[in-house]
Amino acid sequence: MAERGGRGSGGHGSLDKSITLPPDEIFRNLENAKRFAIDIGGSLTKLAYYSTVQHKVARVRSFDHSGKDIENEPLYEISVQEEITARLHFIKFENTYIETCLDFIKDHLVNTETKVIKATGGGAYKFKDLIEKKLGLKVDKEDVMTCLIKGCNFVLRNIPHEVFAYQKDSDTEFRFQTNHPNIFPYLLVNIGSGVSIVKVETEDKFEWIGGSSIGGGTFWGLGALLTKTKKFDELLQLASKGQHTNVDMLVKDVYGGACQTLGLSGNLIASSFGKSTTADKEFSKEDMAKSLLHMISNDIGQLACLYAKLHNLDKIYFGGFFIRGHPVTMRTITYSINFFSKGEVQALFLRHEGYLGAIGAFLKGAEQDNPNQYSWGENYAGSSGLMSTSPDVYPMQRTRSGTFDMFEMDRLERPLVNLPLLKDPSTYIPDTVDLTDDAMARKYWLTCFEEALDGVAKRAAASQPDSVDAPERAEKFRQKYWNKLQTLRQQPFAYGTLTVRSLLDTREHCLNEFNFPDPYSKVKQKENGIALKCFQSVIESLDSLGWEERQFALVKGLLAGNVFDWGAKAVSDVLESEPQFGFEEAKSKLQERPWLEDSYSQWLERLKEGPPHKCALIFADNSGIDIILGVFPFVRELLSRGTEVILACNSGPALNDVTYSESLIVAERIAVMDPVIQSALKEEKLLLVQTGSSSPCLDLSRLDKGLAVLVRERKTDLVIIEGMGRAIHTNYYAALKCESLKLAVIKNSWLADRLGGKIFSVIFKYEVPCK
Amino acid sequence: MEPLRNGGGAEDKAWRRGADAGPPRRWSGGGGGGGGAAGADSSAAAGPSGRQRRDSVRKNRPLFPWFGLDIGGTLVKLVYFEPKDITAEEEKEEVENLKSIRKYLTSNVAYGSTGIRDVHLELKDLTLCGRKGNLHFIRFPTHDMPAFIQMGSEKHFSSLHTTLCATGGGAYKFEQDFRTMGDLQLRKLDELDCLIKGVLYIDSVGFNGHSECYYFENPTDAERCQKLPFTLENPYPLLLVNIGSGVSILAVYSKENYKRVTGTSLGGGTFFGLCCLLTGCSTFEEALEMASHGDSTKVDKLVRDIYGGDYERFGLPGWAVASSFGNMMSKEKRESVSKEDLAKATLITITNNIGSIARMCALNENINRVVFVGNFLRINTISMRLLAYALDYWSKGQLKALFLEHEGYFGAVGALLELLDSA
């Protein structure tokens, strides 16, 4: 029912003022902070604020080439500019630090026009005066449950892999769920000192449908009486070591050995504490704590199931301090829900459960900014990730910043939606391999990213030769990403399902964090320039071929272009040492047909026999040869067939992937040389759009809304996904409602080996949805 | 369910307290000569040519004695039918050990140190299978079961050729002991079948002219609350909540059609077990007595403790318990509560929780009459009134809590009825 109550009492006296806070780690970007919110529980405080972050971004701008010698000029101008983006910061710390933190905030708060701070949580009233005095802000209290639910809706909508099921006895303890497009209705069971059961039907409509007084406070209070152990966490530790069968009366204690023949499960608890009905026997603390834990968890699970049944709901999210990251309680609650619902209902937990109240309070105060209008993304660089709070289970060294758990979200400039062509958005999983599940693969990829790290840091530093502090920032980047990789080795579930995509994205976030927005901008510029020079000769040679030969050459060109990928270590080695490594050489590296995955004949057949596609959506991959000599000739052929083309490129930079703004310049330059492209652009038969993403991979459930609208308008009936990141690491198994073509060259020998091929093996996967 | 041992008594003291005075492991030494007679009788009855006992002989009637046994997790419930219409001829032919059993059971109200006959529950002038008699209700702790079997063996119970009908988990657990120690074959019966059969039967015959079933009128008003008889005519459907060591909840649609809806391990055993740990008490009566003098609001965190009054957003009254034992998170408060307060809080916690689960089941099953039975409710007016109150309050008057006078004995009655039906 309420937040945890007991431990905070008397907290004022024991405030720890001795700590000094490292400002670049905690309470970041306070200078521009506004709209504060605070959620004070019984032992933890969660602070939220909205801030703007100044970022360096690489911008490209086309030169005016008229009358100039374009041979020796760079293709376009690159400038580094400051961009301001919005970010949500959430910090969680123990109540004992509250005064120190408030002082720190006061000292660093410069530009704020904020007058109020939204406050929620059971402890809000206790610290009201302190907050008002320290910050000079008026405390505006918000209802606990309203905040909790607002926060819950927000994370369910915005954070991929927010939700997980807990399975203790499986290899993957944390089984993350795909975000369902429709998050309602659901049941939120908040286990604080008591239990509140709330049914949430829409964004604004929720109802308290019941509760129970047997909750976390019962475990804590009764546990303290029984075991003389004062702290909640210690009680949980005791419980995890105990044997409840010494204290509980089991079915087999009542029925004896006959359980099996009767089909009864003898280990079920017939009566909790049924064996302690005696004054002359001693029971161990551990056993009593365990019995209490089972009793309470089972009871809550049973009630939750009864309420779920009555209201016909199958999604139950559990939260509150009783649950909060404790494997012990997540396990017993999961067991209970399975038992009482006979497996029909799944107990679900949230990665950012501890922040819900703070997020909700923040949203209440930020309604003017309309946060719900935007899409938000978790910033992996600035977020601590899900930590297990049980030191026994995960013996991680708790650093200073471990005391301060952080969660940051970036506001995305445009809303993200599902690709309308996904066959089943509710079951779509972008990633091909779940590294949380696959220990072998996890080990390989973590090592792979570790090994590549020095090179990435070096390249980042080299990309800003004019910046004095570039080497220092590069080193900071290196350290930060290294630490993330180490965390993920210990706790692969820290940021949701661990995937190659999440590893790549985290690296991009870390690079951005230290102002390396686009380390490959110059490389891309150069490669685009070189490739453009070859465009006409490539087109000429293609045009000289017969139809069938040309189709094959186009596909080969697309694949060869895809060899140029700075993300793959094997290729970046070659590119570093042989800058003239050409298009033809790339073609010669390709595997001969039959390819590793080869449905080229079906594709050719389709082109030959079927009517032209109405509209093709192409997700492009790399800059330079790939986009210019691979993709554009292919686009040109489609256009000639009468197929409209939507060419989708990343909104922001990632490795040497072509960005939307680069693609505009490239298209413009090609248009000058090629009348087909020129007229298609003019007649809007070739449309360049942005994906909304800055990832080297592709999540078809989070795409720019404009793209989705266009896809629908143009009645897109073919989707082409190119490149290892987008077609193999992600979307390899993605099922679409229309025809699709997934092609890539495998530039990683381990992955090639795993798929049963060799390095530079070709994937050509043409799929037609079954009717 | 509630053991009756006195404080400090180790297990072996229970039935055997009389050991100093006479042979060990017997109830009270009553019927001293029974042993030998039973021995003789036993050999006579063993052979096919032996004299037929005629005391209760009629084709469709089982031999006396008529017992029904319900062996629960904590307590054994025994019902015994004492025929009052024994003819002189029957009396003459009644074998010696049968007579001694009858005399022993009906002339005592306590057996050993832990066996008790609930005299106030006795059903008088009952007609069963054409015989008139009284039905006696006896209980003793399950851990004294071996001593009970031993006694049966010493009294040559097996020679009576009666069928011992037993239900409850213990019917299975002790089956082997009955066979080896007592030379007795148990007829094991389904617990829930017996329970329902017993409830329906006792309700139909009434309680010596009074109503078996009752309810509390004005349960939400402490002043005006009173116990009133309830007529369970057309009883279906009803939700039957049996609170023993644990709790079983059944939805009953007709005599034959019922299902177990759910159960909870938070039952009478939990109340008593936690009380023993928290207060050092050793009997159920003691625990209840303590509870009656305690104040649970010192132990529990109420809604008003958190919100200063009602939590209107959710329509929660200030007096509602927000967190059972929630105040005990604080050290100071832990030090300021009494054992009585803790006992009361334990009782309130367990009772409210049962009420809550029962209410949810009633809603899910669409049933509005909830009958609470089981020995947890014995001499436990606090819980009964609280259940009546909670059901009424949280259902806004839609649900009615009903209670039965013979609380925990229905399983045993059902077992006895099975014996009669099968003959």
- Token pair listed for A94: 């123990």
pTM of the complete model beyond 0.90:
no
Kindly tell me if the per-residue pLDDT of B30 is higher than 70.
no
- Token pair listed for A213: 């007084």
Contact between chains at A272 and B269 (C-beta distance less than 8 A): yes
Mean pLDDT over B390-416 rounds to 96
**Is A639:A684 a contact under the CB 8 Å cutoff?**
no
Buried/exposed A510-532: b ≥16 CB within 10 Å, e otherwise = bbbbbbbbbbbbbbbbebbbbbb
Name the residues of B annotated as catalytic: 191
Indicate the residue of A208, A221, A262 with minimum beta-carbon distance to B172.
Answer: A262
HSE toward the beta carbon, residue A728, CA cutoff 13 A: 22
Q: Which of B11, B264, B265 should one mutate to test binding to chain A, selecting the residue with the greatest count of A CBs within 10 A?
A: B265
Kindly tell me if the per-residue pLDDT of B38 is higher than 60.
no
Contact between chains at A254 and B334 (C-beta distance less than 8 A): no
Q: Tell me: the pLDDT tens digits for B171-221?
A: 999 999 999 988 888 999 999 999 999 999 999 999 999 999 999 998 878
Gap from A241 CA to chain B (nearest CA, Å): 20
Question: What gap in Å lies between CA B193 and CA B414, rounded to an integer?
Answer: 7
Contacts of A562 (CB under 8 A, 6+ apart): A621, A622, A626, A630, A722, A723, A724, A743, A744, A745
Mean pLDDT over A191-219 rounds to 94
Q: Tell me: the pLDDT tens digits for B270-317?
A: 999 999 999 999 999 999 999 999 999 999 999 998 888 888 888 899
Highest mean pLDDT among A214-223, A414-423, A581-590, B25-34: A214-223
Question: What's at A506, amino acid-wise?
Answer: T
Tokens 């009270």, residue?
Answer: B28
**Is B264:A299 a contact under the CB 8 Å cutoff?**
yes
Indicate the residue of B246, B321, B328 with minimum beta-carbon distance to A224.
Answer: B328
Please give the C-alpha separations between residue A360 and each of A47, A394, A581, A615, in angstroms, as whole numbers.
Answer: 11, 30, 54, 42
- Token pair listed for A407: 């969660």
Kindly tell me if the per-residue pLDDT of A406 is higher than 50.
yes
Q: Which residue of A has its CA nearest to B75?
A: A254
H helix count then E strand count, chain A: 26, 25
Residue B210's Cβ-count burial label (10 Å; 0-12, 13-18, 19+) is exposed
Q: Tell me: the pLDDT tens digits for B236-262?
A: 999 999 999 999 999 999 988 999 999
H helix count then E strand count, chain B: 14, 17
Question: What gap in Å lies between CA B174 and CA B30, rounded to an integer?
Answer: 25
* pLDDT score for B49: 37
Residues in chain A: 771
Mean pLDDT, rounded, of chain A: 87
* pLDDT score for A737: 97
Q: Tell me: the pLDDT tens digits for A348-383?
A: 999 999 899 999 999 998 887 777 788 888 999 888
Contact between chains at B72 and A145 (C-beta distance less than 8 A): no
Question: What gap in Å lies between CA B58 and CA B80, rounded to an integer?
Answer: 19
Question: What gap in Å lies between CA A254 and CA A291, rounded to an integer?
Answer: 17
Contacts of A215 in chain B (CB under 8 A): 323-324
Percent of chain A with pLDDT over 70: 90
Contacts of B176 in chain A (CB under 8 A): 256
**∠ at Cα B401 (B397, B403), nearest 5°?**
160
Q: A693: pLDDT confidence band, cut at 50, 70 and 90?
A: very high
Mean pLDDT over A670-678 rounds to 96
End-to-end CA distance of chain A: 50
Q: B20: pLDDT confidence band, cut at 50, 70 and 90?
A: very low
Contact between chains at B262 and A302 (C-beta distance less than 8 A): yes
Contact between chains at A271 and B174 (C-beta distance less than 8 A): no
Q: Which of A213, A269, A341 should one mutate to test binding to chain B, selecting the residue with the greatest count of B CBs within 10 A?
A: A213
Mean pLDDT, rounded, of chain B: 85
* pLDDT score for A66: 54
Query: Among residues A244, A336, A327, which one has the least CA distance to residue A283?
Result: A244
Phi, psi of A18, deg, nearest 5:
-75, -20
Average the pLDDT over each of A228-242, A374-388, A531-545, A594-608 and give the range with the smallest value: A374-388
Mean pLDDT over A165-191 rounds to 87
**Is A387:A353 a contact under the CB 8 Å cutoff?**
no
B157's enclosing H/E stretch is: none
Q: A268: pLDDT confidence band, cut at 50, 70 and 90?
A: very high
Residue B324 in contact with partner chain A when CB distance is under 8 A: yes
- Token pair listed for B15: 């039935």
Residue B299 in contact with partner chain A when CB distance is under 8 A: yes
Gap from B249 CA to chain A (nearest CA, Å): 13
Question: What gap in Å lies between CA B35 and CA B156, rounded to an integer?
Answer: 7
Average the pLDDT over each of A195-199, A560-564, B284-288, B301-305 and give the range with the smallest value: A560-564
B381's enclosing H/E stretch is: helix B381-394
Question: What gap in Å lies between CA A544 and CA A558, rounded to an integer?
Answer: 18
Q: Which residue of A has its CA nearest to B267?
A: A271
Residue that wins the pLDDT comparison between A346 and B47: A346
Contacts of A162 (CB under 8 A, 6+ apart): A155, A156, A179, A350, A351, A352, A496
Please give the C-alpha separations between residue B294 and each of A3, A62, A508, B297, B334, in angstroms, as whole numbers.
Answer: 27, 84, 63, 9, 14
* pLDDT score for B43: 32
**Is A528:A628 a contact under the CB 8 Å cutoff?**
yes
Helix A356-365 / helix A144-158 crossing angle, nearest 10 deg: 100
Contacts of B175 in chain A (CB under 8 A): 256, 258
* pLDDT score for A59: 82
Indicate the residue of A230, A249, A257 with minimum beta-carbon distance to B331.
Answer: A230
Residue that wins the pLDDT comparison between B398 and A31: B398
* pLDDT score for B301: 95
Kindly tell me if the per-residue pLDDT of B2 is higher than 70.
no
Q: B78: pLDDT confidence band, cut at 50, 70 and 90?
A: very high
Question: What's at A165, amino acid-wise?
Answer: A
- Token pair listed for A705: 């809304």
Question: What gap in Å lies between CA A312 and CA A186, rounded to an integer?
Answer: 10
Kindly tell me if the per-residue pLDDT of B39 is higher than 90.
no
Residues 104-163 of A with CB under 8 A from B: 122, 143, 145-146
Q: A198: pLDDT confidence band, cut at 50, 70 and 90?
A: very high
Please give the C-alpha separations between residue B79 and each of B27, B70, B157, B166, B417, in angstroms, as whole numbers.
Answer: 16, 9, 16, 11, 10
Question: What's at A445, amino acid-wise?
Answer: W
Q: Which of B175, B259, B277, B348 should one mutate to test binding to chain A, selecting the residue with the greatest count of A CBs within 10 A?
A: B277
Contact between chains at A224 and B3 (C-beta distance less than 8 A): no
Contacts of B299 in chain A (CB under 8 A): 221
Q: Say how far residue B66 (Cα) sits from the centre of its chain.
A: 18
Query: Among residues B374, B350, B376, which one has the least CA distance to residue B284?
Result: B376
Q: A26: pLDDT confidence band, cut at 50, 70 and 90?
A: low
Q: Which of B144, B178, B329 should one mutate to test binding to chain A, selecting the residue with the greatest count of A CBs within 10 A?
A: B329
**Is A465:A409 a contact under the CB 8 Å cutoff?**
no
Q: Which residue of A has its CA nearest to B364?
A: A310
Question: What's at B135, amino acid-wise?
Answer: L
Dump the DSSP string for A334-374: HHHHHHHHTTSSEEEEETTGGGHHHHHHHHHHTGGG-GGGS
Question: What gap in Å lies between CA A90 and CA A753, rounded to an integer?
Answer: 43
Q: Tell me: the pLDDT tens digits for A299-329?
A: 999 999 999 999 999 899 999 989 987 888 9
Residue B141 in contact with partner chain A when CB distance is under 8 A: no
Kindly tell me if the per-residue pLDDT of A69 is higher than 60.
no
* pLDDT score for A327: 87
Contact between chains at A309 and B10 (C-beta distance less than 8 A): no
Query: What's the DSSP call for residue A651?
Result: S
* pLDDT score for B21: 35
Neighbour order of strands in the sheet with A739-746: A597-598, A761-767, A739-746, A718-722, A615-619, A644-649, A686-690
Residues 73-102 of B with CB under 8 A from A: 73-74
Q: Tell me: the pLDDT tens digits for B316-369?
A: 999 999 999 999 999 999 999 999 999 999 999 999 999 999 999 999 999 999
Q: Which residue of B has its CA nearest to A299?
A: B264
Percent of chain B with pLDDT over 90: 69
Q: Say how far residue B63 (Cα) sits from the centre of its chain.
A: 25
- Token pair listed for A219: 């475990």
Question: What gap in Å lies between CA B125 and CA B140, rounded to an integer?
Answer: 25
Residue that wins the pLDDT comparison between A185 and B33: A185
Q: What is the 3-state secondary structure (H, E, C) of B236-303?
A: CCEEEEEECCCEEEEEECCCCCEEEEEEECCCHHHHHHHHHHHHCCCCHHHHHHHHHCCCHHHCCEEH
Contacts of A248 in chain B (CB under 8 A): 265
Indicate the residue of A194, A212, A249 with minimum beta-carbon distance to B269.
Answer: A249
Q: Tell me: the pLDDT tens digits for A463-502?
A: 899 899 999 999 999 999 999 999 899 889 889 999 999 9
Q: Which residues pair with A117 in a beta bridge?
A: A36, A139
Q: Tell me: the pLDDT tens digits for A577-634?
A: 554 456 777 777 788 999 999 999 999 999 999 999 999 999 999 998 899 999 999 9
* pLDDT score for A389: 43
H helical segments located in B10-166? 34-46, 88-93, 96-107, 145-154
Query: Among residues A62, A57, A63, A54, which one has the least CA distance to residue A81?
Result: A57
Residue B352 in contact with partner chain A when CB distance is under 8 A: yes
Q: Which residues pair with A207 in a beta bridge?
A: A199
Query: How large is the greatest C-alpha to C-alpha distance in chain B, in angstroms?
Result: 83
- Token pair listed for B399: 């649900």
* pLDDT score for A586: 76
Residue B114 in contact with partner chain A when CB distance is under 8 A: no
**Is A678:A642 a contact under the CB 8 Å cutoff?**
no
Indicate the residue of A225, A273, A280 with minimum beta-carbon distance to B270.
Answer: A273
Q: Which residue of B has its CA nearest to A281?
A: B277
Q: Tell me: the pLDDT tens digits for A98-107?
A: 888 888 888 8
